[in-house]
Structure 1
């Protein structure tokens, strides 16, 4: 089964590039099948990692950034692949 973990954060005012650099510098323990980093308006950064694992597997996730880097708590979601 393929599980996708999504991690999304909104940068504090004027800190979008800093948040993006922070995300790029984070190592994820283990080997995800795939990892993508995306950004959107309002200085939002999204990281999606794909894992070959059961839905309820304990998987490594990105931590919370320092409070001065984000404008709110990180949002996290978990999905399982249903079609290929």
Structure 2
């Protein structure tokens, strides 16, 4: 089964580039099948990782950034692939 973990954060105004650099520098305790990083208006950063694992597997996730970098708590979602 393939599981996708989504991690999305919104930077404090004007710190989107800092948040993007922070997210790209984070290493995971494991190697996903795939990892992609995106940015969007309003200084948002999205990281999606794909894993060959059960839906409820204990998988490494990006941590919560320093409070001076983000304007709200990180949003996290987990999805499983379907045919």
> Aligned residue for 1:9?
9
How many residues matched? Answer: 83
Residue 13 of structure 1, CA deviation: 1.0
> Aligned residue for 1:57?
57
Q: Does 1:29 align with 2:29?
A: yes
In structure 1, how many angstroms separate the alpha carbons of the residues matched to 2:13 and 2:42? 9
TM-score (norm 1): 0.97
Q: Name structure 2 gaps, 5 residues minimum.
A: none
RMSD: 0.4
Which runs of structure 1 show a deviation greater than 2 angstroms over 4 or more consecutive aligned residues?
none
Q: Name structure 1 gaps, 5 residues minimum.
A: none
Residue 29 of structure 1, CA deviation: 1.1
In structure 1, how many angstroms separate the alpha carbons of the residues matched to 2:70 and 2:6? 17
